[in-house]
Structure 1
Amino acid sequence: APPPRARPRAARAGVRQAHGGQLEPRRLWEELDALAENGDVDGALRLFPELQEFGRHSEGKFPWTMLYNTVLKAMANRGDLAGATTWFDRMQQDGIRVNDKTFGKLIETSARGGSAAQAVAWHDKMLAAGFPPTVVCFNAVLEAHARSGQADLAVAWFSRIREAGLEPGAISFSTLIKAYAELGLPEGAEEWFGRMEAARLEPSMEAYKFLVKAYALAKQPEKAAAAYRRMSQAGFDVGDEAAYADTISAAAFAGLPRDSLEEWRGRMERSGVQPGPKLFASVVDALAKAGRPDEAAEWLRRMVATLGGGSSSSAAKGEPPALLAEKALGSAISAFAQAGRADDAAALLAQGEAAGVGAGSVAFAGLINACAKAGRAEEAAEWLGRLEERGLRPDAVVFVSLIDAFAQAGRPEEAVAYFHRIEDAGLRPSVFAYNCVMNAHAQAGQPEEALRWFQRMAPASLKPDLVSYSVLIGAFAKDGQVDRAAEWLGEMEHAGVAPSAGVYGSAIAALATAGRYRDALEWLGKMEAAKVKPTPAIYTLAMDVSSKAGQPKQALRWVQDMERDRVQPVSAGAYVNVIKTYSQAGNADRAVEWLEAMQAAGHSPSRAAYGSIIDAFGKAGKPDEAADWLMRMESAGHKPEAIAYTGVLAACARAGQTEQVVAWFDKMLRAGVTPGIVSFGSVINACAKAAQVDEAVRWFDRMGDHRLMPDAICWTSVINACAKGGRAEEAAMWLGEMEAATMNPDVVSYTTAINACATAGRPEEAAMWLQQMQAVRIAPNARSYSSVIQSFTRAGRVDDAIDCLEACEDAGIRPNEAAYARIISGCAKAGRTLEAAAWLDQMVEAGLRPNAPVFSNVIAACRDPPNPDLAERLLRRMLGLGLAPNDFLVGTLRRTLGYQRFGRLEAELQFAALAGPNRGLPQRPPESHRAHSRRRGGQLASGPAKTLERAPP
């Protein structure tokens, strides 16, 4: 017998009453067992002392183990894992002998509580205590894994039944069917249903119902109904309330509309079955889980109206109506909580209580969760107080909701206080609870405190998960400690936890915020290498980072990847990023399509969206389109800023419409928009393109009237105007003034001046400006050298041009096509044919693509002195690159090769058929191709010529 304990006076009186014969022990046992069956832990604990006292005074042998196990049974049926663990400790403290049923109930408690790990731990303790395994205990472990959504582990434990020399029964198979059903995997459920039949075990009604649930969760209501028909054919009665409840709830969860649910309800009533509490509770729960809170609330009201708030005397099989109504209320409130509708959840609770429906811990937990999700931490704490005032016991999930609420509010002190309340209640904090406290410190900008809580998990025998690392990395990233964030990302990989897109996103966003765009691109590369699928937010972030890192092609690739994966932007800002990326890539039409998609998604395009499209048409030199979108911008209620007008000015400038540039500039002034440097730069650029030097200078001087300091682009545009106007001396003067104004001319400024000298035929001055830019430590680019080479070749100074190209290569700069083309042309014109051909070969070997005129110049040079072999070799190479000869070159080849050799080549290559005035591949239909490019004897060659099939370059 257990040691005596102090007992309250009232309890001793109750025992005396029992010994007096007014309350028999058998009745106490029956009442305790009924409470245990219903999972009424509080009731069982209230009755336990009466039987305990009776046992102490009994003369015969008292079943102490059975008494304690019956209380444990109540905890098992309720899924009270913490209470069961505490009760087991008390059994040992009281000296009560445990048996296999004790461990069975502990495993069952873990299963009902959804803790597969705890169920396995109790099973191992049972074996260690010397009790043999039983099918019942194995089934409980299977149930735990099924409830935890671990079907694969459930299958593994099923195999262990036979390994232990036992034979799995119908419940074992049904539990595996349930495991797959809970995951919404009807294929797996059907497979184990078939194995059950193959094992010659008769499937129970529960097995069929699990099949129905599997199809319901897979959103296949028709197949769910078919499973019920199979159950009917198997001889099970499907016409009762429970069967209809399962069918209608399956249809509700599968997403069938309200009319379909009503149709099923009508079938039920026509079959003579009246809707009862089981039906209403099941449908409310299904609608709640399907994320349909308003419909769940509607069915709850019907339930209250039909059953009188759950106080109906009509008995339901299993749970009493009042308890079903309480659960239904909790489900509906939880649905509103998940939808973030805290006020609707509170209103529903008030309506339910007013109608006589009791609010249980689930309803209060739902309200606390709703307030927490809405960021109303204080209100969530008030609801916890009301829960406790009613004598209800909060579970760990309630406390975690409060921790999370205060974490989101950046109040770590309150979050830590509720964490300790979990421990004070005798509950074991989960990894999620630790994560919430870490997040509280992260939100408050305390990464070191977040790290301290991360490190507390290991002593508590908990393993940090993906969220733990994500919160920690994000905490350091937000604090600007990017290197620490990257270090913990490495630790995460080392710990075998695969980083998610969100973890990478935290690190990348932190690097971007710190302006370390190159490093951010590197982490994007690591994410791709790890084959982590980007989220919509990552796509947006990647576009932004790539653009700011000066990698527009990379930004465009991310947009195209997003389109390929059919990912939709998650916000208006994300749409703007896509529009901006296409605009920067020069694809205005695609940018317009995305703006239309943005409108279709219910977002109003912002000023930035319109501005990006105007800018795209501006860069494309399409003034009409740019002007049209500026007017659309005004119609949408956005006042155009200077940048929008500048886009139109740029479009007109690129199109050479100088008058329109001036007109739009005046419109901008009349609209009260102050022009900026870029606006003036667009007008000056337009004048430069039209070679209107004096106009360019006039607009340059007008900048001073608006108190604007010209930038390097404006200076360069004036120099460019002088260059295009053939006024080399003025270009040099403006470059000198630019240096005197400490404007620091850049490579474009010097190259423009060099180009002006080249255009004016002043090679010495061009070379001088090249040396000058090197003297001031500005590295020339390929265009700078090419302009100098042009000036020398135009003056017939081929050797000087060659020296300049070699200097370009010595400087580590790759000469461009124009530089090679000018030298090849210069050598050809100077009669240095072999040298021209050598430079042509070098150009191709350098990975550059000569055009048709380059080949034509060298082949033409092969005529004098005659060099037919070289001409033929160059022709073959030209055709190999997909370049077609023109009429002039065909005639030149005929004279250079001679008619016989020309005829043989033409018969082999059919190149003359491609000839025409165009310089690329022919665009004419085959029947218009000529056999020869010139008339012979006044007649065209008879018959259509064959075409040379080549892919366009």
Structure 2
Amino acid sequence: MYLKDGFSLLLKVRKPKAPVLLCMNVISKHEEVNDTNAQPVRELDVLKRLRCERDIAVALQYFKSLAGSKVFKHTPLTYQVMIERLGWENEMDAVQYLLQQMRLEGLACHEDTFITVIKSYARIGSAEQALKTFYRIHDLGCRPTVRIYNHLLDALLKDNRFSMINPIYSNMKKDGMEPNVFTYNVLIKALCQNERVDAAYDLLKEMSKKGHCPDEVSYTTIVSSLCRSGKLKEAKELVMRIPPAVSIYNALINGIAGEFGIEGVFSMVDEMLGRGIFPNVITYTTIINVLCKLGDLKMSCAVFAQMLVTGCCPNILTFTTLMKGFLEKGRIHEALDMWNWMIQENWMPNVITYNILIHGLCYNGELKKSIAVFNGMEQNGCRPNVHTYGTLIGGFSKAGELEDAVSMWNMMMSSGCKPNVIVYTSMVDVFCRMLMFEHAQDLVKNMLSENCPPNVVTFNTLIRGLCDYRRVGCALNTLDEMRRYGCPPNTRTYNVLLHGLYLDGNYKEAFRMVNEMLECGFGLNLVTYNTMIHGLCRLNMTKEVLLLIGKMTVQGIQPDSLTYNAILHAYCEEGKVKDAAQFLGGLAAMNCARDVVAYTTLISGFCSQQRLEDAMVYLLKMLSEGVSPNVATWNVLVRGVFAKLGCSGPFQLIEDILADGDDHRSTDIKLFATDHQQNIVHFI
């Protein structure tokens, strides 16, 4: 589906689903109960109907039909069940409406109902709204309790609103409420997330003084924080001083895995068993995850089998971890087998599991299979989120499938799912791939108006697209724009621009760009050096290139095959095939691998001088080293044979065209080299 007149359709955001209308006193005629002899409806039956009805819209319609009827009057409990169901569906406007309706009907909001509302806001990451609702607690006929404060503090913690936690905790004390273990655990977690482990230790002491013994959650939080900070020794010492618990050991195992690998993990499991603690599903899943990250799928499957033998049932995270490991290794068949096994075990996949499978399929180029999985999500009651849509749009973008990417974008918008910067960047990428640069630039501008400012990756994507298609002037303008937007360029930005400038033959601007990088404090990495080396090689400045390689080595940057192949190509272009052959021999002395590109370049150089015997010598040499010739190698040799025989035909025509096209560029390059050789040597 192509977009006409810009992309107004593409950027049109529609409201999610149908708006929930809660006109409590309006009942359709066919639902009115005018029969004075109608039997009253029991609260138990209403609760059962509200809980069992799978369709939230039908449940809400039934709830409304009873409002104001003669057969039933809603109670705080029926309101609580309906509020809980709406909260799970993220229909928080409807939840607020019901709270207001309760107040109008004179029904007090119970503690459990209020906690349900706070937890619903916490689930969608809206602690601010939870706090605003808390400030209305007296108006809703409810009194603050320790449990309500605890869940409010937890909501603030989950939303990273650390600055609000201490004032709410102080307010709790002012209300004369003593914190319990749950309260302390939330505060300990908040301190640990702010890397204040010492303060968390002090809070443990305060707990004990107040008569609240720290539990597994308290110690697990601190052990996890110590491991994250790299304080593994302190974490181990703490574990040995406290009562052993499997959750605490799981936290320690997860931390040790990154430092000591699988051997350290197995050692810790032995220690667990020695203290009478047996691994649980989290322990096994952690070990499987470590093995998958190490790429040892065989051992991870062995641990999975051991888990089953010991009678420990895997959970959805275990299956997901193994499935992800298979996908990262490109073993699609085994990953799908694990998926099917998980479903057979009645573990219904959640949105995270779906996203991992879809991402893995897209990563392995299985777009059709990923779409099939996506289509099955809502059928199984799992709603796609922005990561789901973003993964698919990214997959279509890399494949250059504009219509599918736009279709997925519009589907996302229609569902009410707002795109994030990753999704925008994927769309910018696909527009650039299809040479629709105006659409890409307009989309970047639209991100600002949609309160989703483009980041450096977004701008780099646009700049790369422009440079790849020789629109370097526009790319340089984009660099100025990103600075105006307050988005500073990074090394990759400059590298992409350098590549574009060299492609465009604008060597003077490229040299200025390198100086700008250094002035801005950016270090030159391997990509930067390779880009410069390719540019200098086009100037036939191989001596300066060799000096540049020396500078790389001094800075601890090891040249790679791209570096060496550029020099080989430059020697051959200058007709210095003997120097190229000596350079290739020198790579062997330095234990640098010679790849098919290096040999093909040298063979091409010999063929261009009609030295077929030497070319064949290096062909045999590459074969003896286990380097297989590719199509380009054979094409070079065939071209050389035709030239040697003096045959005319398509090859001669191509060579004539290339020769005619290169004369002007070659002259410009030589003039530039003469004018700026001193500057380049000074830089090196």
User: 2:287 maps to what in 1?
Assistant: 402
User: 1:172 maps to what in 2?
Assistant: 112
Q: Deviations over 1:720-756 (max 9, x none)?
A: xxxxxxxxxxxxxxxxx99782318889999xxxxxx
**CA, structure 1 residues 637+506, in 2 after alignment: closer, same or farther (shift >3 Å)?**
closer
Query: What's the offset of the Cα at 1:331?
Result: 0.8
CA contact (8 A) 1:477 1:510 kept: yes
**CA, structure 1 residues 410+169, in 2 after alignment: closer, same or farther (shift >3 Å)?**
same
In structure 2, C-alpha distance between the alignment counterparts of 1:599 and 1:191, rounded to whole Å? 36
User: 1:566 maps to what in 2?
Assistant: 453
CA contact (8 A) 1:476 1:485 kept: yes
User: 1:330 maps to what in 2?
Assistant: 220
Residue identity matched to 2:321: C
* Alignment partner of 1:524 is 2:405: yes
In structure 2, C-alpha distance between the alignment counterparts of 1:367 and 1:143, rounded to whole Å? 39
Within-5 A mapping of 1:628-707 = 628-629=512-513, 637=524, 644=532, 665=539, 671=545
In structure 2, C-alpha distance between the alignment counterparts of 1:187 and 1:443, rounded to whole Å? 39
CA contact (8 A) 1:173 1:193 kept: no
Query: What's the offset of the Cα at 1:605?
Result: 4.9
User: 2:190 maps to what in 1?
Assistant: 286
In structure 2, C-alpha distance between the alignment counterparts of 1:349 and 1:745, rounded to whole Å? 73
CA contact (8 A) 1:403 1:419 kept: yes
CA contact (8 A) 2:432 2:466 kept: no
CA contact (8 A) 1:185 1:215 kept: yes
CA contact (8 A) 2:377 2:384 kept: yes
Q: Deviations over 1:234-277 (max 9, x none)?
A: xx436xxx45x9xxxxxxxxxxxxxxxxxxxxxxxxxxxxxxx9
Q: Deviations over 1:427-463 (max 9, x none)?
A: 6643333222322332343222222222234433332
**CA, structure 1 residues 668+329, in 2 after alignment: closer, same or farther (shift >3 Å)?**
same
CA contact (8 A) 1:536 1:568 kept: yes
* Alignment partner of 1:460 is 2:345: yes
**CA, structure 1 residues 569+452, in 2 after alignment: closer, same or farther (shift >3 Å)?**
same
**What SS does the corresponding residue of 1:456 show, helix, strand or coil?**
helix
* Alignment partner of 1:590 is 2:481: no
Within-5 A mapping of 1:174-573 = 174-176=114-116, 178-179=118-119, 182-183=122-123, 185-188=127-130, 190-191=132-133, 194=136, 197-199=139-141, 202-204=143-145, 206-207=147-148, 236-237=175-176, 242=178, 283-288=187-192, 291-292=193-194, 294-295=195-196, 297-302=197-202, 314=209, 316=211, 319=212, 321=213, 323-324=214-215, 327-336=217-226, 339=228, 343-344=230-231, 346-353=232-239, 356-371=241-256, 376-416=261-301, 418-419=303-304, 429-492=314-377, 495=380, 497-500=382-385, 502-503=387-388, 517-519=399-401, 521-530=402-411, 531=413, 565-569=452-456
CA contact (8 A) 2:220 2:248 kept: yes
In structure 1, C-alpha distance between the alignment counterparts of 2:568 and 2:486, rounded to whole Å? 30
In structure 1, C-alpha distance between the alignment counterparts of 2:495 and 2:423, rounded to whole Å? 21
CA contact (8 A) 1:372 1:405 kept: yes
In structure 2, C-alpha distance between the alignment counterparts of 1:708 and 1:642, rounded to whole Å? 26
In structure 1, C-alpha distance between the alignment counterparts of 2:659 and 2:419, rounded to whole Å? 39
* Alignment partner of 1:742 is 2:653: yes
**CA, structure 1 residues 209+278, in 2 after alignment: closer, same or farther (shift >3 Å)?**
closer
CA contact (8 A) 1:438 1:472 kept: yes
CA contact (8 A) 1:611 1:643 kept: yes
**CA, structure 1 residues 149+223, in 2 after alignment: closer, same or farther (shift >3 Å)?**
farther
User: 2:509 maps to what in 1?
Assistant: 625
**CA, structure 1 residues 633+206, in 2 after alignment: closer, same or farther (shift >3 Å)?**
closer
**CA, structure 1 residues 483+568, in 2 after alignment: closer, same or farther (shift >3 Å)?**
same
Within-5 A mapping of 1:847-886 = none
In structure 2, C-alpha distance between the alignment counterparts of 1:398 and 1:581, rounded to whole Å? 46
Q: Report which of the two structures shows the higher radius of gyration computed on alpha carbons.
A: 1
User: 1:609 maps to what in 2?
Assistant: 496
**CA, structure 1 residues 542+368, in 2 after alignment: closer, same or farther (shift >3 Å)?**
farther
In structure 1, C-alpha distance between the alignment counterparts of 2:199 and 2:86, rounded to whole Å? 29
**CA, structure 1 residues 744+550, in 2 after alignment: closer, same or farther (shift >3 Å)?**
farther
In structure 1, C-alpha distance between the alignment counterparts of 2:244 and 2:489, rounded to whole Å? 40
User: 2:71 maps to what in 1?
Assistant: none
In structure 2, C-alpha distance between the alignment counterparts of 1:567 and 1:385, rounded to whole Å? 50
CA contact (8 A) 1:170 1:203 kept: no
**CA, structure 1 residues 410+594, in 2 after alignment: closer, same or farther (shift >3 Å)?**
farther
* Number of residue equivalences: 490
CA contact (8 A) 1:330 1:362 kept: yes
**CA, structure 1 residues 427+567, in 2 after alignment: closer, same or farther (shift >3 Å)?**
farther
CA contact (8 A) 2:363 2:395 kept: yes
In structure 2, C-alpha distance between the alignment counterparts of 1:468 and 1:409, rounded to whole Å? 21
Residue identity matched to 2:406: G
**CA, structure 1 residues 278+556, in 2 after alignment: closer, same or farther (shift >3 Å)?**
closer
**CA, structure 1 residues 558+353, in 2 after alignment: closer, same or farther (shift >3 Å)?**
same
Q: Deviations over 1:510-539 (max 9, x none)?
A: 6777xxx443x3432233222365555555
**What SS does the corresponding residue of 1:392 show, helix, strand or coil?**
coil
Q: Deviations over 1:544-602 (max 9, x none)?
A: 555555665566566556676313246xxx77544423444333433544897999869
In structure 2, C-alpha distance between the alignment counterparts of 1:420 and 1:138, rounded to whole Å? 47
In structure 1, C-alpha distance between the alignment counterparts of 2:529 and 2:166, rounded to whole Å? 62
Residue identity matched to 2:247: V
Identity of aligned residues (%): 14
Within-5 A mapping of 1:834-853 = none
In structure 2, C-alpha distance between the alignment counterparts of 1:287 and 1:709, rounded to whole Å? 70
User: 1:581 maps to what in 2?
Assistant: 465
In structure 2, C-alpha distance between the alignment counterparts of 1:489 and 1:740, rounded to whole Å? 50
Question: RMSD in angstroms over aligned alpha carbons?
Answer: 6.0
Q: Deviations over 1:90-130 (max 9, x none)?
A: xxxxxxxxxxxxxxxxxxxxxxxxxxxxxxxxxxxxxxxxx
Query: What's the offset of the Cα at 1:406?
Result: 3.0
In structure 1, C-alpha distance between the alignment counterparts of 2:308 and 2:76, rounded to whole Å? 32
In structure 2, C-alpha distance between the alignment counterparts of 1:536 and 1:469, rounded to whole Å? 21
Query: Unaligned stretches of 5+ in structure 1?
Result: 1-134, 246-276, 650-663, 681-704, 711-736, 751-953
In structure 1, C-alpha distance between the alignment counterparts of 2:86 and 2:247, rounded to whole Å? 22
**CA, structure 1 residues 415+154, in 2 after alignment: closer, same or farther (shift >3 Å)?**
farther
CA contact (8 A) 1:181 1:210 kept: no
**CA, structure 1 residues 178+395, in 2 after alignment: closer, same or farther (shift >3 Å)?**
farther
Residue identity matched to 2:235: L
User: 1:128 maps to what in 2?
Assistant: none
**CA, structure 1 residues 146+302, in 2 after alignment: closer, same or farther (shift >3 Å)?**
farther
In structure 2, C-alpha distance between the alignment counterparts of 1:145 and 1:373, rounded to whole Å? 41
CA contact (8 A) 1:579 1:594 kept: no
In structure 1, C-alpha distance between the alignment counterparts of 2:149 and 2:266, rounded to whole Å? 43
In structure 2, C-alpha distance between the alignment counterparts of 1:136 and 1:361, rounded to whole Å? 40
CA contact (8 A) 2:284 2:303 kept: yes
In structure 1, C-alpha distance between the alignment counterparts of 2:324 and 2:376, rounded to whole Å? 19
In structure 1, C-alpha distance between the alignment counterparts of 2:311 and 2:440, rounded to whole Å? 53
**What SS does the corresponding residue of 2:472 show, helix, strand or coil?**
coil
**CA, structure 1 residues 460+386, in 2 after alignment: closer, same or farther (shift >3 Å)?**
same
In structure 2, C-alpha distance between the alignment counterparts of 1:138 and 1:357, rounded to whole Å? 45
